[in-house]
């Protein structure tokens, strides 16, 4: 395509009826059209009379404005990110410095504007296959959002706010009694998805308007989740939609039927099990972002783009279930993610929501795709995520009471045990505290969250004891063993799904390079790290990392079982006998985009409990404070740039894993990001862990700081991101001044 060529693109834009409509920006356009967002320095106009548009032209749409026309691209040129953008950036090999809106052709049904630019753009035939598939899927997604009925694009009403704030247990009662319709609830959460997508790019496949039909015809509106919209990680199979898992290779291949998990969620009784008439009635409404490879605490891929943190957009929402974290934090209610090294817990901690990592066999996983099918060294589990603890508990209980083992052969027939949940939340507890795993010490903001929670639990009358893990099964030994088990194929499987030229996650890319070092070079690298760099931790982790034979893998599995037995015996010994372990979810709050190139190995606080297969939950505690959580040296002075290395040396943790995480710790830039703690119970102790989480929540709610401040209640701790915005993301509630001594 030559220079000066004009590319036609149907752009249907505008809001009618807003009080702040910006008149006269584009000649010939209705003066009532309001501009929501444009790109600074672009030229918008009609015919030969372009009008310069700068940042001053950006207008806010009136919440009550009625959306009339929306984006509907007709060719793969625009790089569409937000479905409500007025102007779109041209996807070209060169900068599009001059962009015009030209009169539409008379044949256009909706009288759209045409889109053109004067810069050279590569032809579609010459485009890389990966880029072509990415363009196609992103255009399809934008058009699905754009084509939603006008009601989905309207502002949030008082009714919407009441639905968003309603616990799902109460909402179910409303649907079952007829006080509210499932369609109305779905429409509210469709607005939530649209709003969250604009802010964070968290949705991959929008399941609307098909979900409206499911609400009318397929789901059981008398079930325990009657009419409740549920979001799903992109790897979960839904009939009629791709299950791409972030790989372009799997686009254009929609599933021919729902996976077992989705069937359970929306089952309306079409399957007669003879032994159960109880059906769920939930309505899937969106599939959400994840990283390519699924092995990252980022959630970005070449197919769908970068998913942003709902609180501070320059940071990751976590991974690999980061899209779930972002959507739920921005007003979603419940969702399902997966976890092989922390993938539902880290997004919960980094996005400020709740999650439960179930032990293998407690939560269904039939009908899903993965980047590492057949990997059983550290099995992946699917697990629930929610905006409130009450919803998380109700959701988990409802699914297990549905007898999921009748839908999925991987689920153990363990019924819900109310007595264990009640016992856990009504007695005085003995709690083990693991503030550090001995590999990566917690950064100041995370240390403060642990100290705050510890003080609150002690004030509530519980006993807390610092733990020392068994010397033959330390967290470092566990990290080494789990890493070798997970990547025993030499990282071949998750790379096998990529097309030539497809970009991998930077952390997974490093894992691949390390795993494929030839044996002599690996040994030389080990000697260099161990004796020249004097990094015993990284040398230990790298020495045997890589492709394993069947014999070697079997030996690793035997070591895993011995490791599990050691922890089991240690935990249940009389001198321990902890009800649960309190520890960080991750050593740092959310890391910035791209940080996985250095921080990919900082996963020990969650990965350990995947290998042990323990049930573990996440409870939000607070937010990073630029003053209280700033790095300081041992003499109390503010740390300068790169002083983290000196601090890590003082802490005896100067290793590659710690440096990779602490390198990005900046309390000022991280101000407002969530902090959280992890509650770890025994294997198949989901009921107890949820009960313990309620104990922690209640203790924090009743806790008074030394200066008399009261910790915010659970309802106050939800920052209403979907309704309130600040210049850096979410406007958070103020937090009490916790002045606790750090151990």
The C-alpha atoms of residue 126 and residue 122 are separated, in whole angstroms, by: 6
Break the chain down into helix, strand, coil percent, rounded to 5. Answer: 35, 15, 50
Is residue 92 within 8 A of residue 117, CB to CB? The reply is yes
Adjacent-strand bridge partners of 618 = 355, 678
* In the predicted structure, residue 593 carries a pLDDT above the cut 70: yes
pLDDT tens string 398-457 = 999 999 999 999 999 999 999 999 999 999 999 999 999 999 999 999 999 999 999 999
Closest among 263, 280, 243, 234 to 408, alpha carbons compared: 263
* In the predicted structure, residue 49 carries a pLDDT above the cut 80: no
Please identify every residue annotated as catalytic: 233, 320, 343
In this predicted structure, which of 24-38, 292-306, 400-414 has the lowest mean pLDDT?
Answer: 24-38
Query: Under DSSP, is residue 576 helix (H, G, I), strand (E, B) or coil?
Result: coil
What does the pLDDT average to over 561-576? 96
Is residue 417 within 8 A of residue 401, CB to CB? The reply is no
| Residue-level pLDDT at 716 | 54
What does the pLDDT average to over 541-558? 98
The C-alpha atoms of residue 299 and residue 251 are separated, in whole angstroms, by: 18
pTM, to two decimals: 0.82
pLDDT tens string 138-153 = 999 999 999 999 999 9
The fraction of the chain above a pLDDT of 70, given in percent, is 76
DSSP code per residue over 138-191: HHHHHHHHHTS-HHHHSPP-HHHHHHHHS-HHHHHHHHHHTSS-HHHHHHHHHH
What does the pLDDT average to over 316-331? 98
- More confidently predicted of 122 and 634: 634
Q: Which of 2-6, 222-226, 421-425 shows the highest mean pLDDT?
A: 421-425
Backbone torsion region of residue 522, taken as left when φ is above 0, otherwise alpha when ψ lies between -120 and 50, otherwise beta: alpha
Query: Under DSSP, is residue 570 helix (H, G, I), strand (E, B) or coil?
Result: helix
Closest among 581, 580, 600, 582 to 591, alpha carbons compared: 600
User: Burial, 217: exposed, middle or buried (Cβ in 10 Å; 0-12, 13-18, 19+)?
Assistant: exposed
Query: Under DSSP, is residue 130 helix (H, G, I), strand (E, B) or coil?
Result: helix
Query: Across all residues in the chain, what is the average pLDDT?
Result: 82
* In the predicted structure, residue 37 carries a pLDDT above the cut 50: no
* In the predicted structure, residue 90 carries a pLDDT above the cut 60: no
Q: Which domains does the chain have, with CATH numbers?
A: 134-405 (3.90.1300.10), 417-488+548-723 (3.90.1300.10), 489-538 (no CATH)
* In the predicted structure, residue 32 carries a pLDDT above the cut 60: no
Is residue 18 within 8 A of residue 3, CB to CB? The reply is no
Closest among 651, 643, 649 to 667, alpha carbons compared: 643
The fraction of the chain above a pLDDT of 90, given in percent, is 72
For 394-485, strand residue ranges (E) read: 430-433, 463-466
CB atoms within 10 A of CB 650: 11
* In the predicted structure, residue 346 carries a pLDDT above the cut 70: yes
Helices within 209-269 (DSSP H only):
210-217, 260-266
In the structure encoding, which two tokens stand for residue 497, read together?
């799904």
Is residue 251 within 8 A of residue 242, CB to CB? The reply is yes
Nearest-5° angle of CA 150, CA 39, CA 205?
45
| Residue-level pLDDT at 220 | 86
């Amino acid at each position: 395509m030559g220079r000066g060529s004009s590319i036609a693109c149907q752009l249907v834009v505008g809001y009618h009826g807003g009080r702040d409509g910006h008149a006269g920006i584009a000649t010939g356009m209705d003066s009532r059209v309001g501009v929501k967002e444009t790109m600074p320095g672009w030229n918008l106009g009609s015919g030969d009379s372009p009008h310069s548009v700068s940042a001053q032209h950006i207008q806010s749409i009136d919440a009550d404005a009625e959306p009339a026309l929306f984006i509907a691209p007709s060719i793969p040129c625009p790089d569409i990110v937000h479905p409500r953008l007025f102007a779109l950036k041209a996807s070209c090999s060169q900068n599009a410095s001059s962009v015009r809106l030209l009169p539409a052709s008379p044949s256009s049904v909706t009288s759209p504007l045409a889109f053109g630019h004067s810069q050279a753009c590569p032809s579609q035939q010459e485009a890389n296959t990966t880029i072509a598939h990415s363009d196609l899927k992103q255009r399809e997604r934008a058009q699905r959002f754009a084509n939603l009925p006008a009601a989905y694009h309207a502002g949030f009403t008082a009714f919407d706010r009441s639905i968003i704030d309603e616990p799902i247990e109460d909402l179910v009662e409303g649907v079952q009694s007829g006080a509210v319709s499932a369609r109305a609830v779905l429409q509210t959460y469709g607005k939530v998805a649209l709003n969250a997508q604009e802010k964070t790019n968290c949705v991959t496949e929008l399941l609307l308007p098909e979900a409206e039909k499911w609400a009318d015809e397929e789901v059981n509106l008398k079930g325990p989740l009657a009419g409740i919209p549920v979001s799903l990680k992109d790897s979960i199979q839904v009939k009629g939609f791709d299950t791409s898992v972030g790989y372009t290779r799997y686009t254009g291949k929609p599933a021919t039927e729902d996976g077992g998990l989705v069937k359970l969620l929306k089952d309306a009784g079409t399957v007669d099990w003879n032994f159960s008439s109880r059906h769920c009635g939930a309505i899937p409404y969106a599939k959400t972002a994840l990283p390519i490879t699924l092995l990252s605490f980022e959630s970005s891929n070449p197919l769908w783009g970068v998913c942003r943190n709902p609180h501070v957009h320059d940071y990751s929402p976590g991974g690999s279930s980061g899209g779930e974290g972002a959507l739920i934090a921005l007003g979603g209610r419940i969702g399902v993610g997966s976890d092989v090294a922390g993938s539902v817990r880290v997004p919960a901690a980094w996005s400020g929501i709740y999650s439960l990592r179930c032990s293998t066999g407690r939560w269904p996983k039939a009908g899903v795709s993965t980047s590492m099918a057949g990997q059983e060294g550290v099995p992946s589990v699917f697990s629930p995520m929610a905006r409130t603890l009450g919803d998380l508990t109700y959701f988990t209980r409802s699914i297990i009471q549905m007898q999921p083992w009748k839908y999925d052969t991987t689920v153990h027939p363990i019924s819900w045990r109310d007595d264990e949940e009640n016992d856990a939340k009504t007695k005085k507890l003995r709690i083990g505290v693991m503030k550090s795993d001995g590999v990566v010490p917690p950064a100041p903001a995370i240390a403060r969250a642990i100290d705050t929670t510890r003080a609150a639990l002690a004030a509530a009358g519980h006993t807390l004891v610092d733990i020392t893990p068994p010397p033959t099964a330390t967290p470092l030994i566990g990290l080494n063993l789990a890493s070798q088990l997970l990547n025993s194929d030499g990282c071949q499987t998750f790379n096998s799904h990529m097309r030539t030229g497809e970009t991998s996650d930077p952390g997974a890319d490093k894992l691949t390079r390390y795993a494929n070092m030839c044996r002599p070079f690996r040994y030389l690298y080990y000697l260099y790290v161990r004796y020249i760099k004097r990094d015993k931790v990284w040398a230990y982790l790298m020495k045997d990392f890589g492709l394993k034979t069947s014999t070697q893998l079997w030996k690793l599995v035997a070591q895993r079982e011995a490791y599990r037995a050691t922890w089991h015996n240690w935990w249940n010994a009389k001198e321990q006998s902890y009800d649960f372990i309190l520890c960080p979810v991750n050593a740092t709050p959310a890391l910035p985009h791209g940080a996985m190139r250095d921080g990919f190995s900082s996963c020990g606080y969650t990965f350990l409990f995947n290998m042990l297969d323990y049930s573990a939950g996440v409870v939000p505690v607070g937010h990073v404070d630029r003053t209280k959580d700033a790095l300081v040296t041992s003499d109390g002075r503010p740390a300068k740039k790169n002083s983290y290395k000196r601090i890590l040396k003082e802490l005896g943790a100067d290793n590659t894993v710690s440096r990779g995480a602490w390198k990005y710790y900046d309390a000022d830039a991280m101000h407002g990001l969530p902090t959280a703690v992890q509650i770890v119970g025994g294997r198949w102790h989901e009921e107890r862990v949820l009960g313990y989480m309620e104990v922690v929540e209640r203790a924090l709610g009743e806790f008074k700081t030394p200066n008399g401040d009261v910790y915010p209640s659970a309802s106050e701790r939800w920052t209403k991101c979907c309704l309130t915005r600040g210049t850096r993301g979410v406007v958070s509630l103020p937090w009490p001044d916790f002045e606790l001594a750090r151990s």
